[in-house]
Chain A
């Protein structure tokens, strides 16, 4: 325990880096997946193509993807963009299907009603379709958030030191406690992110609570459907 207090500032720096490496893939994944998910929902060809690509992406081992990034992007080998880009791809792979499912679930009658009230496609998307698909998208984002925070630790194998640094360093020094700090820290960051996403979801989509009870939609069932 005393090790933790003595090295608190170093560990804290790793936590900050870890957070900084985790947030962009989650947000970018969300921003990219929603329109793609809409395309997959709207067009039959889009569904086939996008969901197949997403499925393929998901099968690539994360380490290989991270390492391949400098070659693909032409970036420097230690550029954090490599890790962020790779994890964004994973986030998209997971979320596109969820987003497509979320849009599918919006009742066509509601959309018709909106059209009848004079909503154009653009306004209808922002004010009716997206908010109604919101709860499921939020649930999917929770899954993506947890897995991203966990995957950032792999950065340690390629010189990008989040909390994963404590794993490799702790291994070499035969120091399980240090590794344990890394594990607990990673899980804590993931839980805090999860809480934040839940709170944002509740603030933005106050109707989701009542809907959830009816549809039993949550991150768990979603994970099954997302990958199935």
Chain B
């Protein structure tokens, strides 16, 4: 443990194109791109499923299978199958990470929309809102806690898993792990693991704050009353 900290504190490891700041930024870039792509796909699908209540069975089954998809296997499969393997290592990397990130975001989105009281939706309909307006003005804000919960969950997995990108030559914090693995350089490996964990915790905190900030005031007030009703709501709060 101490060796890992010493490695971290060594100023030589904090500079240059292979230094910790560069690797952190690379890691953040990979994570950010993944969440952006996966977010767009999964939110669109999740909101549609939640709103229409259709296709849920299919998606549950599909995301179950996606969750079991071995990241490393998919990564090398794409890298070997398609010629751009190493030259555009970012493409196989993003594909596998997006696959990893979709199930939790999707689940958060449709579970969030489904958790909205049907009476609320009916009331909005009675007030003359179009389906589109219902989705965006009623269901989406009310579903936000669970949506943010899904994004957080995806973020944690992606931050930890983005390390595999190093297997096919990409940067990021995984470099410290994969460079150290064949040499059994434990201090470096430990330092890498600590950095990944620290990054995950910081991002987690960020999500927590964003989650609180985006919650509509009305929803926040209403939630106060129902706080301990179901674990779903409580943990997401």
Contact = CB atoms under 8 A, between A and B. Distances in A.
Contacts of B149: 224-225, 227-228
A2 interface: no
A154 B153 CA distance: 21
Interface stretch (A3-11, A25-33, A114-122, A141-149): A141-149
A37 B232 CA distance: 16
Interface in B137-153: 146, 148-150, 152-153
B79 interface: yes
A156 to B, nearest CB: 8
Nearest to B145: A228
B64 A194 contact: yes
Given A68-B190, A220-B111, A58 B236 contact: no
Contact of B104 (A179, A180, A223): A223
A153 B70 contact: yes
A182 B73 contact: yes
B73 A153 contact: yes
Given A61-B174, A68-B193, A167-B76, A221 B181 contact: no
Contact of A220 (B81, B107, B152, B160): B107
Given A101-B235, A216-B114, A143 B67 contact: yes
A223 B103 contact: yes
Interface in B103-128: 103-104, 106-108, 110-111, 114-115
A82 interface: no
A219 B189 contact: no
Given A171-B76, A183-B77, A227-B156, A68 B64 contact: no
Interface in B157-193: 157, 159-161, 163-164, 174, 177, 181, 186, 189-190, 192-193
A150 B76 contact: no
Contact of A164 (B73, B159, B197, B228): B73
Contacts of A168: 76
A68 B232 CA distance: 34
Given A60-B197, A170-B80, A179-B76, A224 B231 contact: no
Given A97-B235, A105-B231, A220-B107, A150 B153 contact: no
A221 B230 CA distance: 12
Q: Would you call the interface of chain A mostly helix, strand, loop, or mixed?
A: helix
B68 A150 contact: yes
A146 B64 contact: yes
B74 to A, nearest CB: 6
Interface string B49-70: 0000000000010011101111
Most buried by B among A150, A182, A224: A224
A67 B163 CA distance: 14
Interface residues of B, number: 59
Contacts of B150: 224, 228
Nearest to A97: B235
Interface string A204-228: 0000000000011111110111111
Interface in A107-141: 136
Contacts of A102: 231
A183 B75 CA distance: 10
A157 interface: yes
A175 B80 contact: yes
A196 B222 CA distance: 40
B71 interface: yes
Given A58-B156, A146-B64, A153-B72, 8 more contacts: A59-B204, A67-B177, A101-B234, A146-B68, A170-B76, A186-B69, A225-B231, A227-B149
Interface of A: 55-56, 58-65, 67-68, 71, 97, 101-102, 104-105, 136, 142-143, 146-147, 149-151, 153-154, 156-158, 163-164, 166-168, 170-171, 174-176, 179-180, 182-183, 186-187, 189-191, 194, 215-221, 223-228
The 3 nearest A-B residue pairs measured at CB: A190-B68, A228-B149, A64-B193
